[in-house]
Structure 1
């Protein structure tokens, strides 16, 4: 395995034997290989990918897709039926609640137990204990039996222990979903710190925005198979479209230029972002007034069919920063005569965005015969624009603030 690879997964698979009745399990023992009384269920099948050192991989997929099975095999707590896993360096993991802790031991005792299991000496653990206790922030409960902890307290201590083991690879399976908001934010800051130190991260989450913000790449597991792997924003968008029932034939690839030659009933032939003077531009100063102009052509729908249009702008991590749609704005749109076009203009003021390049995405839905809106056009990151700052912005979006200093007697 190459020295710049932290984890190498090759043809990984896990098969379970399912029995329809308890007696079949006994019969299988008696007959051995002569007869089969079980059905094979492959929870994971033929999954292969590499994780580079310092890289963050987000793993997504619906419940039961095989995500947790994959992480358990990566951590060595589950033996694969097929394939291999190679890990280069010390691995720390936060999997299902309860793993690695003795419920009869106190929090303090479990800290030392976990450290010892990861190869740390008593002196090394003692040196880090104050930092672990401060991060967990559970007060005097550190000296109470873990079995008395709430779920949130357990996660606090477990996460604090794992991140202070100086891991080369850190694996998390949805554990942060049960933490309170303040602690989750602290955890994300710690993960960013680990990333900056070159730690490889793998985490499962149903928070696709967090996947985009934290991950360099994403892995989509579907029905036990690797369905898609690549840039986090691209994979998350594909997963969201699938979850929303949007066909790949509707969603144009990112960066597609207009017009798009697709056999759709509606078409978006031109989109422009205009300055307040009505001039097309690709560079704007945050906070200025702009107009989004969209030309829509009716290729095959009857006249008067209700349609709705939405747009969003995303940063270079693929995170949606702002957007709107005609439905929530209570704007009524209907299809023109077949073959005719119409222009929709949306006037708004750009937020105080940080300087950089942003992309625009657009979707158009039409009301179908069943009374549901169905996607006709979906354009992802199909044009970009640059933002210059008039004031420095250190966050995703800034605000105009008028500070006033009061006089005190």
Structure 2
């Protein structure tokens, strides 16, 4: 079983005021340093246990790829250490290790030997690698004629020809076509069930939340948050809109879940609930039942425009359905400070049994990214049960009409 242990990891690059300073530092080793350090990462520590899947997220420039390079040994850290056990397979930069003038088959032999396979083992694995990559006759063409998607297909096929103890994947998979992305993630899920330890960098919220046990958020070169994927992704979503003097905070609900609240505070959500057709607040509803999502908002300041949106999420935090009053043509304009508004959204709960949450947002324009007054995750929680519908599986209830003819 594979493990990854990262301790106080940091990476800094030397910056010189001009090229002569670099030369002077080389030829005058006893003199004072003529450079300053630009820290890309600092004080990163975490452990990935055997069989665990951990996702790393963060905005561009947060240091995600640099971190993976240090973990895999392609870049040396300035401070700290990395310790790994088990056989490691890594897919980092697109086509890393491929020679453009060699054929795909020749590159498979080179990349396979770098992964520790013997030539005989690669020959045995070659039919499976070709079949999974699905690049046809291009396997015997120079890699320089490959598209980026074809390079990803071949690189992933080689890296995962045999189940590794540790699999490290960067954003490279996002380059491939949708079909191969699904195929690749299915293989990753299979490896997970068989005990592979996974470390993955992705901007794909659904991939992180569906595959990973834990998520790590990097921000400004430091570890900003570590925890359940849903809570970390909610916090990350708040940071994406963190401007205009917004406040981002987290609080623990009574059920122990971590809720993220962000926004300028110019308007706030004072109450939210789910009610049945009789107006009674409920926490359990049946599949297909008519309910109303009620929200009370309070304007602390004068607002030129107010839009309210809601997003229903499943137990993993993945979106099920979302909309807002801008798209529903119910925008409100010129609201005075101190105004209270009650919104009601009525709909049929055409979703499968399970636990769901509702995220709410008060903002201007089409989305909260423009002017966010308040975004509140886990504003309401409710359970859906199948009371009187025929048996079915899945996230959505889409009852069909059946016709048979002989």
Determine if the TM-score, normalized by the shorter chain, exceeds 0.5: yes
Establish whether residue 331 from structure 1 lines up as the match of residue 330 from structure 2: yes
Establish whether residue 309 from structure 1 lines up as the match of residue 308 from structure 2: yes
**d(CA) in 2 for partners of 1:263, 1:122:** 61
Counterpart position of 2:182 = 185
Counterpart position of 1:125 = 122
Going from structure 1 to structure 2, the CA distance change for 1:252 and 1:23 (only over 3 Å counts) comes to closer
Gaps of at least 5 residues in structure 1 are: none
**d(CA) in 2 for partners of 1:272, 1:66:** 40
Counterpart position of 2:238 = 241
Going from structure 1 to structure 2, the CA distance change for 1:263 and 1:109 (only over 3 Å counts) comes to closer
Counterpart position of 2:278 = 277
Counterpart position of 2:111 = 114
The worse-fitting range, judged by mean Cα deviation, of 16-25 and 182-191 is 16-25
Residue pair 1:336, 1:342 contacting (<8 A) in 2 also: no
**d(CA) in 2 for partners of 1:315, 1:406:** 38
SS of the counterpart of 1:65?
A: coil
SS of the counterpart of 2:317?
A: coil
Gaps of at least 5 residues in structure 2 are: none
Going from structure 1 to structure 2, the CA distance change for 1:62 and 1:104 (only over 3 Å counts) comes to same
Residue pair 1:254, 1:380 contacting (<8 A) in 2 also: no
- Residue 395 (structure 1) shift: 3.6
Residue pair 1:310, 1:362 contacting (<8 A) in 2 also: yes
**d(CA) in 2 for partners of 1:386, 1:104:** 58
Going from structure 1 to structure 2, the CA distance change for 1:73 and 1:264 (only over 3 Å counts) comes to closer
SS of the counterpart of 1:194?
A: helix
Establish whether residue 20 from structure 1 lines up as the match of residue 21 from structure 2: no
Counterpart position of 1:202 = 199
How many residues are paired up? 395
SS of the counterpart of 1:195?
A: helix
Going from structure 1 to structure 2, the CA distance change for 1:86 and 1:263 (only over 3 Å counts) comes to closer
Residue pair 2:274, 2:380 contacting (<8 A) in 1 also: no
Residue pair 2:242, 2:248 contacting (<8 A) in 1 also: no
Establish whether residue 69 from structure 1 lines up as the match of residue 70 from structure 2: no
SS of the counterpart of 1:129?
A: helix
Residue deviations 1:45-85 (CA, integer Å, cap 9, x gap): 11100011111111111222211110011111111111000
Establish whether residue 253 from structure 1 lines up as the match of residue 248 from structure 2: no
**d(CA) in 2 for partners of 1:339, 1:195:** 53
Q: Aligned-pair RMSD on alpha carbons?
A: 2.7
Going from structure 1 to structure 2, the CA distance change for 1:79 and 1:322 (only over 3 Å counts) comes to same
**d(CA) in 2 for partners of 1:309, 1:254:** 24
- Residue 208 (structure 1) shift: 2.5
**d(CA) in 1 for partners of 2:163, 2:385:** 39
Counterpart position of 1:42 = 39
**d(CA) in 2 for partners of 1:182, 1:363:** 34
TM-score scaled by length of structure 2: 0.89
Residue pair 1:168, 1:200 contacting (<8 A) in 2 also: yes
**d(CA) in 2 for partners of 1:382, 1:345:** 15
Establish whether residue 215 from structure 1 lines up as the match of residue 216 from structure 2: no
Residue deviations 1:99-142 (CA, integer Å, cap 9, x gap): 22233332222223322222223343333222211110001111
- Residue 397 (structure 1) shift: 2.8
**d(CA) in 2 for partners of 1:378, 1:255:** 16
TM-score scaled by length of structure 1: 0.88
Residue pair 1:251, 1:377 contacting (<8 A) in 2 also: no
SS of the counterpart of 1:198?
A: coil
SS of the counterpart of 1:188?
A: helix
Counterpart position of 2:170 = 173
Going from structure 1 to structure 2, the CA distance change for 1:249 and 1:5 (only over 3 Å counts) comes to farther
- Residue 393 (structure 1) shift: 4.7
Counterpart position of 1:355 = 353
**d(CA) in 2 for partners of 1:356, 1:394:** 11
Going from structure 1 to structure 2, the CA distance change for 1:280 and 1:27 (only over 3 Å counts) comes to same
**d(CA) in 2 for partners of 1:296, 1:16:** 49
SS of the counterpart of 1:397?
A: coil
Going from structure 1 to structure 2, the CA distance change for 1:265 and 1:217 (only over 3 Å counts) comes to same
